[in-house]
Amino acid sequence: MKRDMHFMTKKIKFSRILIHLFLISYAITCLFPLLWMISTSLKSTSEVYTNKSLIPQSLNFENYIKAWTEGNFSIYFTNSVIYTISIVLGIVIVSTLAAYAFARLNFPFKNIIYYAFLMMMLIPIPGAFVPLYVLLVKLGIQNTRIGYILPMINSGLSVSIFILKEFFEQIPKELEESAVIDGCGKFQVYYKIMFPLALPAISTIVIFNALSAWNEYILAAVNFTDPNKMPVQQGLFIFQGQYFTRYELLMAATTITTLPIIMIYLSMQKYIVRSLTGAIKG
Amino acid sequence: MAEVKLENVTKKFGDVIAVNNVSLDIKDKEFIVLVGPSGCGKTTTLRMIAGLEEITSGNIYIDGRIVNDVPPKDRDIAMVFQNYALYPHMTVYDNMAFGLKLRKYPKSEIDRRVKAAAEMLGIENLLKRKPKELSGGQRQRVALGRAIVREPKVFLMDEPLSNLDAKLRVQMRAELKKLQRTLGVTTIYVTHDQTEAMTMGDRIVVMKDGVVQQVDDPLTVYEKPNNVFVAGFIGSPPMNFIDATLSEDAKILDLGSFKLGIPSDMQSFVAEHAKNYLGKKVILGVRPEHIYEVALMKTEDLIPEAVADLKVEVLEPMGTEVYLYLINGPVSVVARVSAETRARMGENVKVMFDLRKMHLFDPVTQMAII
């Protein structure tokens, strides 16, 4: 009996070691590119090709200044900030309102409209590029900021509405009814009660859509011809020459582009965990 | 403070009639309890008064004004929900102040009212906490506080104590009743718990299948139930019902396996009130406390014709009293006797049915005859 117990404890310990080994190696594969990027961004041009170590011989912070100034990176960065904020804001406003309506209001063809939104999730974005391009040209908004922001809002809606609808449905109806008796109108119920309660789900949506908007590359290439309107991902191309790539500048620029997303994620981490684990209790 | 009147109110959900032609007059400052089993329409009635459900037909008046199409916020009512419905993202103070803020009361007035209500409910020290940091009882008080600060004409309460543990429920029951007396606000209270209804209500409205069965003060409902349903629903353990035949001369009730003699001073009363049932089948209703153990009775109280010998199937000691589950042929009854009982499980016991306090019901309509 004792031997069996001992064997079982050993077995559990061994499986734990295996799991931890797997998790550690997965974490390393995720972190290594990030570390390599930061390390390379701090090396000199020659050191990039000679020093394979992750620790640079000297810290060349001027790479960041060069990346920012030489490649007009400030313009791309500003563009990306504008696009990301507009896209995320648009998605949050439209998707919370739509999801609330789908979750709580009764109107004709509600389910058909909802499933139509869901079906959008099945269409890969590049698959819609040709009709989208034609539409943008016909509307006269091709190569404009709004011509980029609107399709991006549209592309983020279906998943966001899906997540939020599920979340709104979990919120007890009595909270709304209580608010109605307290004196709220329909819209006040939405923004004074439902919106704050949905913050964990909204944070998830903000993160995912901010990530997707910040990293977007193809639609920008399709829509924009004016380099001054390009987002940061397009700007990274500048450091990639036909014959020679300035890796230290490219990695400095890439580090700059990565920072805002990491900051958003860290600041909203609490809400993301709650959105995936928590329920609303009155 | 206000009177509430329901006039032939009906609510249909598709083909299902949830509330059927309910008429009620609730007096100013009255504490009225809607009681009934699940699905009897009590909550739907309350929600219609609140304005959370549209009525299919009929009229609802609050303070003399028809409110059928008045939105909930303009009915001057406050509601306490079963699960409290406190806003999780707001502090206790904000929860209580929310309704007043929406109505644009001055800050000083909001503060005065919230603090006064908090003091009344003993929750002054909780004002900065969020609902998740409170116990069930504390949440209950906050929900009450939220209703009180509004100083509404009517309080509506939808099973507000059902989420509390048994001990706290008894304590809150008394506090709630006291609070209602102090504030003097007309209160409509929904519960499925007949004890709550009996102890709290000035009047009780017993409902079944969307229909009001009886509206009366608790004692009348208990002592003079309108029908078998009310008689069985109010009282714990419930009233015993036995199929019987009333003799032509109104002297004997034949219960099948034994007969009971109606006391001589009752016979003319029975003959007069149950004249259409002489020689016919009736349902005899006897409350458990009206079946006495003969061994514990004084001789002068004994009516030998009403004594029967029944076997003790189960014996449930409750502390100060004992429930005896008795059987004799098709007759099966519960008797509530003193803890000094000499009855033993499996043995026979002589009991007397107090027919002076009996109820007779029509076996077809189930309505009370006596």
Consecutive 10-residue runs of chain A (282 residues): their mean pLDDT? 64 86 94 92 88 85 87 87 96 95 92 89 79 92 94 92 92 94 92 92 89 89 89 82 77 89 81 63 46
Q: Is residue A90 part of a domain?
A: yes
CB-based contact B324:B344 (threshold 8 Å) = no
| Residues in Cβ contact with B298 at an 8 Å cutoff, skipping those fewer than 6 apart | none
Q: What is the mean pLDDT of chain B?
A: 95
How near does any CA of chain A get to the CA of B172, in Å? Answer: 20
Closest-CA distance of chain B to residue A190, Å: 13
Domain check: are A195 and A99 in the same one? yes
Chain A neighbors of B102, CB-CB under 8 A: 182-184, 188
Q: In what order do the strands lie in the sheet with B65-66?
A: B16-26, B4-13, B57-62, B65-66
The pLDDT value recorded for residue A282 is 46
Q: What integer pLDDT is reported at residue B81 of this predicted model?
A: 94
Which residues make beta-bridge pairs with B368? B361
Are A19 and A146 in the same domain?
Answer: no
Binary contact (B103, A183; C-beta < 8 A): yes
Q: Is residue A78 part of a domain?
A: yes
Instruction: Name the packing angle between helices B107-121 and B136-149 (round to 10°).
Output: 140
3-state secondary structure of A185: coil
Does A72 share its domain with A108?
yes
Strands B348-353 and B359-361 come out as unpaired
Same domain? A161 vs A251: yes
Is residue A131 a part of any domain in this protein?
yes
- A95 falls within a domain: yes
Same domain, A99 and A20: no
Residues of B within 8 A of A280 (CB-CB) are 88
Contacts of B131 in chain A (CB under 8 A): 281-282
Note whether A31 and A116 are same-domain residues.
no
Instruction: Give residue A29's domain range.
Output: 2-41
Coil, strand or helix: which one is A152? helix
pLDDT in tens, B129-168: 999 999 999 999 999 999 999 999 999 999 999 888 888 8
Same domain, A253 and A191: yes
Same domain, yes or no, for A223 and A176?
Answer: yes
Q: Is B87 within 8 Å of A174 when comparing Cβ atoms?
A: no
**Could you tell me which residue, A267 or B123, shows the higher pLDDT?**
B123
Q: What is the rounded average pLDDT of the residues B313-337?
A: 95
Which of these, B83, B47, B96, lies nearest to B161 by C-alpha position? B83
Q: Is the domain of A128 the same as that of A215?
A: yes
User: Chain A contact for B41, CB < 8 A?
Assistant: no
What is the domain count for chain A?
2
As beta bridge partners, residue B65 has B62
Tell me what pLDDT residue B149 has.
95
End-to-end Cα distance, chain A: 50
Task: Report the CATH number that the domain containing residue A169 is assigned in CATH.
Answer: 1.10.3720.10
Give B-chain residues touching A177 at CB under 8 angstroms: 50, 52, 72, 79, 81, 85
Of A172, A183, A282, which has the smallest distance from its Cβ to B99's Cβ? Answer: A183
Q: How far is B38 from chain A (nearest CA, A)?
A: 18
Contacts of A172 in chain B (CB under 8 A): 83, 85
Torsion of CA B85, B88, B92, B94, to 10 degrees: -100
Please say whether the dihedral angle defined by the alpha carbons of residues A231, A233, A239 and A240, taken in this order, is positive or negative: negative
Contact B77 A183 (CB under 8 A): no
pLDDT of residue A261: 82
Of A174, A184, A197, the CB nearest to B85: A174
* A65 and A47 Cβ atoms separated by less than 8 Å: no
CA distances B364 to A122, B109, B239, Å, are 63, 60, 18
Banded model confidence at residue B1, pLDDT cuts 50, 70, 90 = low
The answer to whether residue A241 sits within a structural domain is yes
Q: What is the mean pLDDT of residues B29-39?
A: 96
Q: What is the pLDDT of residues B8-21, one digit of tens each?
A: 999 999 999 999 99
Residues A190, A240, single domain; the answer is: yes
A51 part of a folded domain? no
Q: How far apart are CA B253 and CA B354, in angstroms?
A: 12
In this prediction, residues B124-133 reach a mean pLDDT of 95
The span from the CA of B38 to the CA of B287, in Å, is 24
User: Minimal Cα–Cα distance from B263 to chain A, Å?
Assistant: 55
Tell me how far CA of residue A201 lies from CA of A95, A164, A281, in angstroms. Answer: 11, 6, 15
Pair (A88, A179) in one structural domain: yes
Whether residues A34 and A155 share a domain: the answer is no
pLDDT of residue A45: 84
Asked whether residue A55 is assigned to any structural domain, the reply reads no
> Hunting for tokens 């919230």 — which residue is that?
B114
Cβ of B81 within 8 Å of Cβ of A177? The answer is yes
| Cross-chain residue pair B87–A183, CB shorter than 8 Å | no
CA terminus-to-terminus distance, chain B: 38
Residues of A in contact with B83 (CB under 8 A): 172, 174, 282
The C-alpha atoms of residue B325 and residue B318 are separated, in whole angstroms, by 13
> Whose structure tokens read 């001369």?
B249
| Chain A CB within 8 Å of residue B14 CB | no
- Closest to A181 (Cβ–Cβ): which among B79, B82, B88? B79
- The answer to whether the CB atoms of A196 and B89 lie below 8 A apart is yes
Inter-CA distances, A133 with A88, A153, A225, B48, Å: 22, 16, 13, 54
**Chain A interface, Cβ < 8 Å to B:** 172, 174-175, 177-185, 188, 193, 196-197, 199, 280-282
B319: tokens are 């502390």
Residue A50 placed within a domain: no
As for the ipTM of the complex, it is 0.86
3-class DSSP string for chain B: CCCEEEEEEEEEECCEEEEEEEEEEECCCCEEEEECCCCCCHHHHHHHHHCCCCCCEEEEEECCEECCCCCHHHCCEEEECCCCCCCCCCCHHHHHHHHHHHCCCCHHHHHHHHHHHHHHHCCHHHCCCCHHHCCHHHHHHHHHHHHHHCCCCEEEEECCCCCCCHHHHHHHHHHHHHHHHHHCCEEEEEECCHHHHHHHCCEEEEEECCEEEEEECHHHHHHCCCEHHHHHHCCCCCCEEEEEEECCCCCEEECCCCEEECCHHHHHHHHHHCHHHCCCEEEEEECHHHEEEHHHCCHHHCCHHHEEEEEEEEEEECCCEEEEEEEECCEEEEEEEECCCCCCCCCEEEEEECHHHCEEECCCCCEECC
* Interface membership of B52 toward A (CB under 8 Å): yes
B333 — pLDDT class (breaks 50, 70, 90): very high
